[in-house]
Amino acid sequence: MTIDKNIILKRDTKKPLLIDAFYVEEKTNQSIVIFCHGYKGFKDWGAWNVMAERFAEAGFCFIKFNFSHNGGTVENPIDFPDLEAFGNNNYTKELEDLNDVITWTQTYLSTNANINNTNINLIGHSRGGGITIIKASEDTRISKLITLASVSDFGRRMPSTRELNTWKENGVRYVLNGRTKQQMPHFYQFYEDFEANEERLHIESAEKRLEIPHLIIHGSDDTSVNISEAKALHQWNPNSEFRIIEDADHVFNTKHPWDKSELSDSLNETVTSIFEFLK
């Protein structure tokens, strides 16, 4: 298996992106799967590396990356050494990042005859699910879409009017990261960017526009994103496939760090469902 870790994609006017690629050289006609992490997430979180290997073994070229403003750096891609960048993140930056990764993927893998760079599929976890739904609705390069524990509405996650006024006055609001104990900043630009792009960032409209197959997967015991959000996505797009993973939490019963070489039963069931859907 070829594992290219921490490839640096430099961009003229934007922060660089850090990308991993997993594939098996000899396997033919490998379609590409691009994975997008969620809020307070990163490409090396928990069991994502083990999952990537499973995809490569199954005959896919699996790409994962850190969003440019997720709080990681090129030197330290795990956790959040750059809280200034984290505070300057927003949804449209993440859509631009994903666009640049898709474009890079087509070029980077074009010399490998065993990789089919015209068959590109997206997987998004949590907030990354919302990003992939919007991207898949507006980019004809995407063949299929899978969302894991996806959010269904960015607007609902914005604070109340009173809290918005305080946020605007202070210029920043903080969210505690329960695992790292960091106070994660959100600068007010986050809301301004959402407001300016609200129509584009409307997940319901994007879901209704989808013309490609969409597999919606959600854990029955998810306390971070309620399963009602998955049901809403499926209702907006009756052509989608909907799979509930019983007794699974928001991260499919994995955690960070993940020191096992196998997936949890819940994530294993999830991955198996994705293989069936893609093949």
CB 1, CB 22: distance < 8 Å: yes
Domains of the chain and any CATH numbers:
2-155+202-278 (3.40.50.1820)
For helices 189-196 and 161-170, angle between their N-to-C axes, nearest 10 degrees: 120
| Average pLDDT for runs of 10 along the chain of length 279 | 97 97 94 98 98 98 98 96 98 98 91 92 98 98 98 96 96 96 98 98 98 98 98 98 98 98 98 97
Q: Report the pLDDT value the prediction gives residue 257, as an integer from 0 to 100.
A: 97
What are the backbone angles phi and psi of residue 119, rounded to the nearest 5°?
A: -115, 90
For helices 91-108 and 189-196, angle between their N-to-C axes, nearest 10 degrees: 80
CB proximity list for 51: less than 8 A, separation 6 or greater: 35, 62, 263, 267, 271
Q: Report the pLDDT value the prediction gives residue 108, as an integer from 0 to 100.
A: 87
Q: Report the pLDDT value the prediction gives residue 112, as an integer from 0 to 100.
A: 87
Q: Report the pLDDT value the prediction gives residue 111, as an integer from 0 to 100.
A: 83
Q: How is residue 221 written in tokens?
A: 């015991």
